[in-house]
Amino acid sequence: MLRYILWRILVMIPTLLLISMLVFTIIELPPGDYFESYIEELRAIGEKADLQEIEELRARYGYDKPIPIRYLNWVGGMLVGDFGYSFEYRLPVSEVVGDRLWLTVLVSFVTIALTWIIAFPIGVYSATRQYSWGDYGLTLFGLIGIAVPNFIFALILMYFANMWFGTTIGHLMDQKYLNQPMSWDKFWSILEHLWIPVIIIGTAGTASMVRRLRANLLDELQKQYVMTARAKGLHPMKVLVKYPLRMSLNFFISDIGSILPSIISGAEITAVVLSLETTGPMLIKALQSQDMYLAGSFLMFLAFLTVIGVLVSDIALALFDPRIRLKGGATK
């Protein structure tokens, strides 16, 4: 196991280097750069750009240098904690992200926790009572949850939240707390608004997880070792928990690879519809405006979390499932 972990950590280095090259290439592919887009925006609204200031910014951040040099400066800066400068916000990237990062983590963490808490008992119930009325009803609600797009569900809940509870959902807090330091009033305002995005983002994930848990558990319950345990007279609950339920949870663990980056990126479209102060809309805006350092830092952070998540899930699967054995290097 230790050899495998060390080997995977070494493999992460060239993997992240290749990803950084790909990210930098994709950001550089569109014609022009942020400064040209900024000049065109000013001309479109009838304002004149300060060309001298723009040229100074170009020289300061290396936009007048060859692409390979810019790439090396970008990667080297990230290695020492310098994520660059956001031209859109006129601030360092670390300051731009600010509160948005922990708000995104809060929304995503609560959504994931609620999804697991709801999906786990429903999936077990549906699998152990296959083709019952409860199974049919829960399956119907699950299919509806998967079929309805999140942004449509968001618009519906925005209306009913305002009509029934008087809560105006347009941000993750009351507008008077926007760009204000954290306080108890701001914290309670966030909690008041938090349930809407959690329900919207978690609905599809819960429905999908219920279906997968039900299918995996049904497959395990039909295997020979379960029939043998029942024939020996073991208690039904012990027969369920000892191995079938444990084996059917593998996909929960394997999802760690996708859960970690989703904690940072969040549900971008839902966040745009609800005007949430999370990092998803900021990432989309940075890509649209070619704000290279902000967009590139986001994408590299997501790639790093994905690589870490896959490693953690692989190790956890090996510890959780005795049928899985991990070895480092090639096998003969």
The one-letter amino acid at 154: A
Q: What share of the chain is helix, strand, coil (3-state, %, to 5)?
A: 75, 0, 25
State how far the Cα of 91 lies from the Cα of 112, in Å rounded to an integer. 32
> How many residues are present in the chain?
332
The region that residue 132 occupies, defined by phi over 0 for left and psi between -120 and 50 for alpha, beta otherwise, is beta
Sign of CA dihedral 243, 246, 248, 251: negative
Can you give the pLDDT of all 332 residues of the chain as single tens digits? Answer: 778 788 888 888 899 999 999 988 887 777 766 777 777 777 777 777 667 777 777 777 777 778 888 888 888 888 887 787 787 777 888 888 877 777 777 888 888 888 888 888 898 898 888 888 888 888 888 888 788 887 788 888 777 777 777 766 667 777 777 777 777 787 888 877 787 788 888 887 788 888 888 888 888 888 888 888 888 888 888 888 877 887 787 777 777 777 777 766 656 777 777 777 777 788 888 877 777 788 888 888 888 888 888 888 888 887 777 677 666 555 54
Adjacent-strand bridge partners of 92: 85
Side-chain half-sphere exposure of 205, counting CA atoms within 13 A = 23
84 within 8 A of 93, measured Cβ to Cβ: yes
Domains of the chain: 2-92 (no CATH), 98-320 (1.10.3720.10)
